[in-house]
Structure 1
């Protein structure tokens, strides 16, 4: 922990009911900041707010443009401004080869993982531009760099998040807003419950360190990216992959 690193800073964190989103939000608060938590699961949000010390919560679907716009305005009013956005909401979708992949699962993965990231950035960027300061951290994946078999929707959506990050990094580089993404390998989190064990075992086998990551490891990287210390890097992908990806 870095005492006071986020003193006076405010954050919106999506997918904050559990996993990486919750870990990042809790660390921002512990290091002096304020956070508003967004998640689809209202029950999880209630517990997450208690455990993290968050200022407020909003239960919403990040693929719903109108709901995101409303929540962004509410967060700005509650916090006074928005300095940090962490886009951690995501789902895995079906595990199947493309010729058998359910169309509804493909569309839902894209809606949450890629469209949701875009919509949250779109809604919150005006508040950052108004304050001439911002840090956006998009949660992508090594799957977006390498692709995982039988996970085409997830891999494609996370590749899209990486591309979106690079585009936004260039768009806002001269406006005080820094945009980066994190590309973790598989780490222990509730999202693994959406996958068959065979898929988890495959992903673990691709990690040279021979283990899954820990949520705290990716949270530490994300918090650096969300801080003032990250001041001359934008449009980049930061790996926490145990050696799986080195580019």
Structure 2
């Protein structure tokens, strides 16, 4: 791991990370484990079991769960298993989501619109609902949602609408649960460099038009960043783990853009 590790920052904490088989979710889980946390990695890809095994071989306390978080039953089962592992959940990082198709809105079919919202809003809605009774019983806990600055971006309107919902959920839920000592916060990543995905979110660009539409996203993402570049996985994980930690104990209801100056 190239970024600085804050030794002991999560010692004694039970942390559940969704979408943890690769990308930002994996980087967050690995960082928290390196900082002393006991992590439960949740993903619908079987790959998550291999990832957890690799973390354990490195000395981490890591457990893996496969679940379809687009359905409430899957979210509830995953949260229940995570709690059973440690008797509590101190932090939930909701990282499931991602653009499936990239094109102007008039080219989306109704089924594609529904699928985008199902992928990028409902897993966060469901897992928040599933974990709340446990956190309220504890009178403590932190939820970190991973949103996106693409709420203001081209060729991803259904995804943008879903992530706008994540922002609203973060703000509204924070108001409701502060009385129980629970914080709800979010980051809004911008474009992020990452290795090729081992499990694809959706079909790759097939036609020259598909490729042009995707390139428009890249161009707009870089152009909107004051730093004129994509971020790194470590830069995204640093913001998420900060908000998840006790260092951010006086922050709730906020969405932190992590996009080189693009506010979304």
**Same fold at TM > 0.5:** yes
Q: State which of 223, 235, 249 in structure 2 corresponds to 1:205.
A: 223
Aligned-residue CA RMSD in angstroms? 1.8
> What corresponds to 1:237 in structure 2?
255
The question of whether the paired residues in 2 share the 8 Å contact of 1:25 and 1:35 is answered with yes
Q: TM-score, normalised by structure 1?
A: 0.93
Deviations 1:145-203 (A, max 9, x none): xx212110111111110010000111111211100010111111347986745132332
Displacement after TM superposition at 1:82 (Å): 0.6
Instruction: Tell me the distance in 2 between the aligned counterparts of 1:35 and 1:123.
Output: 18
Tell me if 1:21 matches 2:25: yes
Instruction: Tell me the distance in 2 between the aligned counterparts of 1:54 and 1:62.
Output: 23
Q: State which of 161, 164, 169 in structure 2 corresponds to 1:164.
A: 169
Q: TM-score, normalised by structure 2?
A: 0.87
Instruction: Tell me the distance in 1 between the aligned counterparts of 2:236 and 2:98.
Output: 17
Which sits farther off after the overlay, 193-202 or 78-87? 193-202
Tell me if 1:49 matches 2:52: yes
1:34-45 matches, within 5 Å, as: 34-42=38-46, 44-45=47-48
Instruction: Tell me the distance in 1 between the aligned counterparts of 2:131 and 2:201.
Output: 29
Q: Give the greater-gyration-radius structure (CA).
A: 2
**Number of positions where the alignment pairs a residue of Structure 1 with one of Structure 2:** 243
Unaligned ranges ≥5, structure 1: none
Displacement after TM superposition at 1:112 (Å): 2.0
Which sits farther off after the overlay, 190-199 or 221-230? 190-199
> What corresponds to 2:82 in structure 1?
75
The question of whether the paired residues in 1 share the 8 Å contact of 2:187 and 2:257 is answered with yes
